[in-house]
Structure 1
Amino acid sequence: MSGFKLYEISEELMTLEDMLYDDTVDQETVQDTLEMINMDFEDKADNYAKIIRTMDASIKALKDEEQRLSGRRKALEERQKWLKDTLEANMRYTGKMKFKTELFSFNIQKNGGLEPLVITGELEDIPGRYLIQQPPIPDNMKIRKLLEEQPVEWAHLEPRGESLRIR
């Protein structure tokens, strides 16, 4: 369950909230618990909204933590690359291209795989048999603009959907 609560909820709904935060509880069990809660519709809706708002706060905290951890991971990756590049540069400088220590073996060698390809000419200079033809894709913004001006047989706009807003 969440580490903090924005709202106080009924005892019955605390069990529901615990289940919602537990990813090992299946959807059917949660649904059965929802159906067993006996209270007026409006009270139930208020309590659902309280849980939803608390979950919003938990989701925001998790996203913030994901961003923090992602930033930390990227910083470590950059430091690791820098350290590896520094080691390689020092190996090249000293001429030690291959050596062993008690713990590791070090070796600068050619990369495997295909040789890197660099296209130096213009796209028009490349014969067609060396190009990948791609099918055209619709320009949705232009089609929307056209549909504002006139109907067409090959496209239409659907009505906007609806969703619950809790304020």
Structure 2
Amino acid sequence: MSTLYNLTDDYVRVLEMIDEGVDEAVIRDTLESIDEAIEVKADSYSHVIREKEGINEIRRKEIKRIQELINRDDKAIKLMKDSLYEAMKYTGKTKFKTDLNSFWVQKNPPTIEVTSEEHIPEEFFKTERKLQRRDLIKYMKENSIEGVELKQTEGVRIR
């Protein structure tokens, strides 16, 4: 079976046949065979596309499931570390060794807790500039901006 690329080349050959004055019946038969071949190829493509879309949906669900497992385990790890810390502080045993591990309490790097931002100097704030594409598209439908081009593309939809 021909590839979609070859079938497209066949259309170019038909145009050449027309330029050469080949009989209309031959051209019509050739076009019908190309159209049927493209339709068969399109059906094959749609089967593969749907299969890949289904596989990707399963993968997305699996990613979500695994991320939930990671989050659950992270919470359990934090709970165990917090419990161990509290037990070590309460008993005063802040440094010890076992046959398998060494344990100690250590100060973490400093952090801040902000209860009000009104007195913080502006130099500590970062403003992120982000293009609002949807708003710009609406604007560009009736206006123009140098360096901005409104493009309309096409794509295949399969039902």
Normalising by the residue count of structure 1, what TM-score does the alignment of the two structures yield?
0.60
Which residue of 1 is the match for residue 90 of structure 2?
93
CA distance in 1, matches of 2:129, 2:86: 47
Matched, 1:116 2:111: yes
State, as a whole percentage, how many aligned pairs show the same letter.
Answer: 30
Which residue of 2 is the match for residue 160 of structure 1?
152
Which structure's relative contact order is higher, taking Cα pairs within 8 Å and 6+ residues apart? 1
Which residue of 2 is the match for residue 26 of structure 1?
none
Q: 1:52 to 1:98 in 2, by over 3 A?
A: same
Which residue of 1 is the match for residue 13 of structure 2?
none
Amino acid at match of 2:96: F
The two structures, once aligned, show a CA RMSD in angstroms of 3.5
Larger radius of gyration between Structure 1 and Structure 2: 2
Matched, 1:151 2:143: yes
Contact 2:88-2:94 within 8 A present in 1 as well: yes
Structure 2 gap segments, 5+ residues each: 8-35
- Per the alignment, in what secondary structure is the counterpart of residue 107 of structure 2? coil
- Per the alignment, in what secondary structure is the counterpart of residue 40 of structure 1? helix
Comparing 134-143 and 63-72, the one that deviates more: 134-143
Which residue of 2 is the match for residue 41 of structure 1?
38
Structure 1 gap segments, 5+ residues each: 1-11, 13-32
Normalising by the residue count of structure 2, what TM-score does the alignment of the two structures yield?
0.63
- The one of 99, 103, 126 equivalent to 2:100 is 103
- The one of 70, 74, 79 equivalent to 1:77 is 74
